[in-house]
Chains A and B, each alone.
Chain A
Amino acid sequence: MMKSLHLIAALGASLLVFADPVSARPWVQPESFTLKNGMQVIVLPDHRAPVVTHMVWYRVGSADEPQGKSGIAHFLEHLMFKGTKKIPPGEFSKIVARLGGNDNAFTSYDYTAYFQRVALEKLPQVMEMEADRMANLRLDDAVVLPERDVILEERNTRTDNNPAALFSEQVEAAQFLSHPYGRPVIGWRHEMEQLTTQDALEHYRRHYGPDNAYLIVAGDITAASLRPLAEKYYGAVKSRGIPARVRPQEPPQLAARHLEMFDERVAEPNWQRSYLAPSHNRRADSDPDALEVLSQILGGGATSRLYRTLVIEKAIATSAVAAYQGTALDYGQFYIQATPRAGQTVPALEQEVENVLTHLLKDGVSGDEVDRAKRRMIASAVYAQDSQQSMAQIFGEVLATGRSIEDIVAWPDRIQAVTPERVNAAAKAVLRAENSVTGILLPGKK
C-alpha cells in the first residue's frame, strides 16, 4: 500500500492567517508503505541536497523495561554498535565514516532509534548494516562490561554532576505513582550497575524485529526508488512476534506533592511544577491541541503571561516558562518553571505564579493571545521543513507514540481550529493541584 500525503495542501488552509497564502505551496509530501513482515516505511522527499537521513525506530523505550532493570533500553542502544557476525565490534561507525557518513542513536521513554546521514549513493550500504543488526547482534562480556562503565560515566555527566538533573529525577518519580515514566531513561545508578549481557540480549530478543520497527528516510529519494531497497534489506528480516505494549497505568492522583532539595552545588534557587496531563495519543476525552496553545500563551516566550508578569512587571524572576509535552504513548505533562531574581524569595515567586494561574483560570485567555500563539505554531510547521533531519525526527516521535502520518499532516489544521473556549476548558482540566508536583531546589544544606 502506498499513500501519498500532501502536508502542505493541509497547511494551505491554515496559512490563510498570513498575509499571503502563497507560502502554502506544496513541499514535503510524505509517502508510506508497509513490508510483508510488518515493517512500516515512511519517506520524506526533499531534493535540495543529494543526501539522506536514514532512521530505524523501535517501538520500545525505557517505559517498557522490566521492573528493576532501569536503563536497559538505553544500554542496549549503546550495545547495538558492538557487532554482528558480519560486522566486528567497533566497526559499525567506522564503516559509516568511511562512507562519508555520520551516525548515532538515542533512547527515550517510548522509543529507541538509530540513524545515519549519508550521501544518497551510500544508502544501500547503511540499510544493509542496519537490517543486519536488527537480527544478528552478538554480545559478550568482553564488549558489554566496559560499555556499562561508559553508561555510568554518561550518568555522571548528565545527572550526578548536576543537582538540577538529580532533582528532576525526584520530581518525575513523584509525578508518577505507578507508571514507569517515573524512572529516568538513563536508569537508576544501582540498577545500571547490575545490568548484564543476558539482560541486554533478553531486551533485544523481546523487542527488536521488523514488526516492532519502522523505517524513515528523509532527503533526496522517493518511495518508488526506496521500495526495492527496503524489500531487499529489511524485507528479509523475519518478524519476531512482538508482545503488546502494556504498562502499569496511573491510579487517580489525589494529593498535591511538594518536594524540596538542598544541594551545596546549587548556584541559585529554582521553582518548578509538573502537572499530569493527557497525551496526544489519548485525546478522546481531553484536548492536547488546546494545551499546546495554552503553554504558548502562559509561558512560551517574551510576551507570554508568566514572562510578562514575573520577569518584567513584578521583576521577581529572571526566567519564567511553561511547556507542554504531549508526544507520549501514555501520559503527557505540563510544566512551569521559574527562577527568582537575586534578593527575591521562592515563596514570593510561587505566590506570583499562583496569581497568574488563578487569573488565567478565572478570566480565561483572549482571542488575540490565541491568534498570536497559533500563528507562531503554524509557522513552525513551515520552518521545520527546512531540515530533513528535523522532519525525520518529528515523524519518528509521533509514530512511536501511537499516532499516524495523517495525524501529523492535520496538525496545523487542528491548531488553527483551537478556540479561546477550548484553551480555557483544557486549562481547567489540567491545572489542578491534585495532579501536580511542586519542586523547590535550594542552595546549601538543610
Chain B
Amino acid sequence: MGAVTFILNFRPRFVIASRRRGNPGAARKSPRLWPLNCRVASLLAMTSLAACLWAAPANAVTIQRVTSPGGIEAWLVEQHTIPLIAMDFAFRGGAKLDPAGKVGLARLASATIDEGAGDLDSQAFQKRLETLAIKLGFQTDQDAFHGALQTLTENSGEAFALTRLALTAPRFDAEPMTRIKAQLLAGLQQAAEDPDAIASKAWFKAAFPDHPYGRPSEGEAGDIEPISADDLRQFTARQFTRDRLLIAVVGDIDAVRLGQLLDATFGGLAKSSNGPDPAPVTPAVNKTIVIKRDIPQTVMMFGLPGLLRNDPDFIPATVMNYILGSGGFNSRLMVEIREKRGLAYSVYTHLAPLAQTGLFFGSVATQNDRANETVALLRHELARMRDEGVTPEELEDAKTYLTGSYPLRFDSNAKIAEQLLGLQLENIGIDYIDRRNDLVRAVTREDVNRTARQLLNPDNLLLVSVGQPNGTSPVK
C-alpha cells in the first residue's frame, strides 16, 4: 500500500519463534558477495538495441545489459517460466542530500509519490494498483532513493505507466501530505521507545556529529512537520534524474519490450542535476554512551571504522568478518557469547560500505546484570582476532561457505533483481561477478590477519548501551 502502515506492534498469535534472529543491518547495506559465474559470451546486435550478454554456466542466470532506443540502460535477466516481472531501480542520492532543517525530506517523498499522481488522486492511484495486483513501493536509505515494482506480465504496460506517473507527476495533495506526515511522526515516536532504534540512532549521531550520515534517514520530527509540497517537488526534480538512475529487471520480458518501457517510464526525466555528495568521512569512535531505559535486557550497538567498497582489502575483510561475527552460528562471537555462555540470543557484526565512509559495526543484547561480562567478552574476541588472526581451518570454512552459498542469492526473480541493483549501486562492474569467487578463493591468512590488525581495535569501540547495564542505577 502506498501509505505508511504501522503494524509494528500487530502480532497475531501465529508469530513464530525462530532459532536465529535476522540481521537487521544486512538487508540494504550488506556487503555483497555475488560470486555469479558469468563470462562474456557474445555481443548481440539487435535492432535499435545494444545488448551485451553475459552468459553463465548451465543453470545460472544470464545478464543482459540493455540500452533503450532513448539511451537508458538496465540490466536484464529474462525468465519466462513464470508470468511475472520484477524491476528494482534506484537514484543515487538519498537521505544524505536532505537539506539542513529538512531531515526526512527523502523519506517523506518516498511515502507520498504514490499517494496520487497525474489525474489520479490518492485513492484512485491505490485502487488502480490493487485492481491490477501491481506491487509498487518506494523507500530511501542514506545513499539512494529506491523503487521496487512487481507485476504480472499482462499488466506490465499499466504497471510501468503508474511508475512513470509517480516519478514525474506526483500530486502531493494536502490530505495525503497531512496523513503521511502524521504516520511518519507516529513511527518516529515508536522508534523513540524501541531499544534497537534508540541504540542505532545514538550510535550514528555520535559517529558522525557533523555529517549527514549522523542524521536519521527516517527524518527528524521537527523537520518533517514544515516540509511543503514545493519542497517535495524540488526534491523530485533534483533526485529523479537519469544520471543518478540504476535499473535491474528480471522476469517475463525481452530486451526489445523492456527498451520501449524504459523510454516510456524514465525517458521524461531530466538528464542531470547538481547535488554534490557530502565529503568523505571517518566515524568518530572511542566513546561509551549509556542511555537508561526501564527494560530487562540491555541492547548494545558497537562499532569502528570499516572499509569503502572499492578498498583492495574489502574481500579479505569480508572473510575476516564472517569468521568473527557474521557467520551465523559458526562465528566466533556467536560461539563464545551465545553457544558457550547463553549470554544472548543474537550477536552479529557487519561490514557496511557506505558511499562516503566504511563502517564495521555490530549488535548484541543481554540481561542487564550480564552486560559488562558480555562487553568484556566482545572486546576480548576482537583483540584475539587482531592479535592471533584466524586458523587455516577457519579460513577454509569461510571460503567454502562464501563461494558455495552464492546460488542461494539467485533463486527468485525478486532476489535476482535486488542483487543486480546492488552490483550497480556498489559500482563494481558487470564483469566483477565473474571474478568474484576467484577473489574470495585467493584470500590468504595473511590478508585476513592484516585486515584484522588494521580494523579491530577493541579499545577504540564506539559503544552505545540502552537499558540498565550493570553498574548503572535503575531507571525510575
Residues of A within 8 A of B (CB): 18-20, 22-25, 27, 46-51, 74, 77-78, 81, 90, 93-94, 97-102, 104-109, 117-119, 122, 145-154, 156-158, 160-162, 164-165, 168, 172, 175, 181, 185-186, 219-220, 264-268, 270, 272, 301-303, 307-308, 311-312, 315, 318-319, 321, 323, 325, 327-328, 333, 335, 337, 339, 341-342, 372, 375-376, 379-380, 382-383, 385-389, 441
Partner of A161, one of B3, B150, B296: B296
Contacts of A156 in B (CB 8 A): 296-297, 345, 365, 367
Point out the residues of chain B lying under 8 angstroms from A181, CB to CB: 13
18 contacts between A and B (CB under 8 A): A19-B155, A49-B411, A77-B19, A94-B397, A97-B401, A101-B408, A102-B405, A106-B19, A108-B17, A154-B345, A161-B299, A265-B193, A268-B190, A312-B122, A312-B179, A318-B182, A337-B9, A342-B186
A78 touches B19 (CB 8 A): yes
CA distance A185 to B12 in the complex (A): 12
Return the 10 tightest CB-CB contacts between A and B, nearest first. A100-B404, A149-B342, A379-B133, A164-B9, A146-B342, A156-B297, A23-B83, A302-B1, A154-B345, A93-B329
A160-B295, A312-B179 are known contacts. Are A323 and B12 too (CB-CB below 8 A)? yes
State in angstroms the CA–CA spacing of A20 and B154 once bound together: 6
Given contacts A22-B154, A186-B17, contact A388 B7 (CB under 8 A): no
Q: Contacting A153 at CB < 8 Å: which of B84, B126, B345, B397?
A: B345
In angstroms, Cα B81 to Cα A335, docked, is 37
| Among B8, B179, B342, B365, contact of A315 (Cβ-Cβ < 8 Å) | B179
Instruction: Quote the shortest CB–CB distance from B5 to chain A (angstroms).
Output: 5
The answer to whether residues A117 and B408 also contact, given A97-B397, A107-B17 and a CB cut-off of 8 A, is yes
Instruction: Check if A335 sits within 8 Å of B12, measured CB to CB.
Output: yes
The contact string, 1 if C-beta is below 8 Å from chain A, for chain B 40-61, is 0000000000000000000111
The reply to whether the CB of B153 lies closer than 8 angstroms to some CB of chain A is yes
Residue of B nearest to A100 (CB): B404
Contact A388/B411 with A20-B154, A22-B154, A23-B152 known, Cβ cut-off 8 Å: yes
Chain B residue at minimum C-beta to C-beta distance from A118: B408
Q: A48-B81, A270-B9, A318-B186 are in contact. Are A386 and B345 (CB under 8 A)?
A: no
Give A365 Cβ to nearest chain B Cβ, in Å.
15
User: CA of A148 to CA of B342 in the docked complex: distance in angstroms?
Assistant: 7
CA distance A94 to B16 in the complex (A): 24
Within 8 A of A (CB), among B172-211: 175, 178-179, 182-183, 185-186, 189-190, 192-195
Distance of A122 Cα from B408 Cα, bound (Å): 13
Name the one of B339, B400, B405 contacting A146, with C-beta atoms under 8 angstroms. B339
Interchain CB contact under 8 A, B343 and A333: no
B342–A153 touching, CB < 8 Å? yes
- CB-based nearest A residue for B3: A302
Q: Within 8 Å CB of A93, what residues of B?
A: 328-330
Chain B residues with Cβ under 8 A from A102's Cβ? Answer: 328, 405, 408
| Interchain CB contact under 8 A, A22 and B345 | no
In the bound complex, CA of A305 to CA of B20 (Å): 37
Q: CA–CA, A117 to B405, complex, Å?
A: 9
Contact residue among A160, A267, A376 (Cβ-Cβ distance under 8 Å from B297): A160
Q: Which residue of chain A is the closest to B134 with respect to CB atoms? A: A379
Which residue of A is nearest B401, CB measured? A97
Q: Whole-angstrom distance between the alpha carbons of A413 and B340 in the complex? A: 51
Residues of chain A lying within 8 A (CB to CB) of residue B330:
93-94, 97
**Interface-central residue, B7, B123, B299, B342, by most chain A CB under 10 Å:** B342
Instruction: Give chain A nearest CB distance to B110 CB in angstroms.
Output: 15
Chain A proximity mask over B109-128: 1 for CB below 8 Å, otherwise 0? 00000000000001100110
Complex: how many Å from CA A329 to CA B365?
A: 35
What is the CA–CA distance of A151 and B318 in the complex, to the nearest angstrom?
A: 29
Closest to A77 in B: B19
Residues of A within 8 A of B155 (CB): 18-19
A325 contacts across to B, CB distance below 8 A: 12-14
Nearest chain B CB to A276 CB, angstrom units: 11
Q: A302-B3, A339-B6 are in contact. Are A147 and B178 (CB under 8 A)?
A: no
A161 to B411, CA, bound (A): 36
Chain A residues with CB under 8 Å of B59's CB are 49-50, 220
State the CA gap A154–B16 with chains docked (Å). Answer: 12
Q: Within 8 Å of chain A (Cβ to Cβ): is B23?
A: no
* Given A301-B130, A303-B126, A315-B179: A165 and B186 interface contact (C-beta under 8 Å): no
Shortest CB-to-CB span from A119 to chain B, Å, is: 6
**Nearest neighbor of A324 in chain B, beta-carbon distance:** B12
Select from chain B the residue with minimum beta-carbon distance to A387: B412
Q: Is B469 an interface residue when CB atoms closer than 8 A count as contact?
A: no
Chain B residues with CB under 8 Å of A385's CB are 82
Whose C-beta in chain A lies nearest to the C-beta of B187?
A: A318
Q: B343 to nearest A CB, angstroms?
A: 7
- Residues of A contacting B327 in the complex (Cβ-Cβ under 8 angstroms): 97
Q: Is the CB of B365 within 8 A of A157?
A: yes
Residues of chain A within 8 A (CB-CB) of B413 are 386
The one of A149, A154, A267 that contacts B17, using a Cβ cutoff of 8 Å = A154
* 6 more CB-based (< 8 A) A-B contacts, given A90-B339, A162-B9, A302-B123: A24-B83, A149-B343, A156-B297, A168-B9, A181-B13, A380-B133
What is the distance, in angstroms, from B254's C-beta to the closest C-beta of chain A?
Answer: 15
Is A379 a contact of B152 with CB atoms below 8 Å? Answer: yes
State whether B186 touches A268 (Cβ < 8 A).
yes
Q: Closest CB-CB distance, A437 to chain B, in whole Å? A: 11
Considering only CB atoms, which chain B residue lies closest to A340 in the complex?
B186
Of A46, A100, A308, which is within 8 A of B405 by CB?
Answer: A100
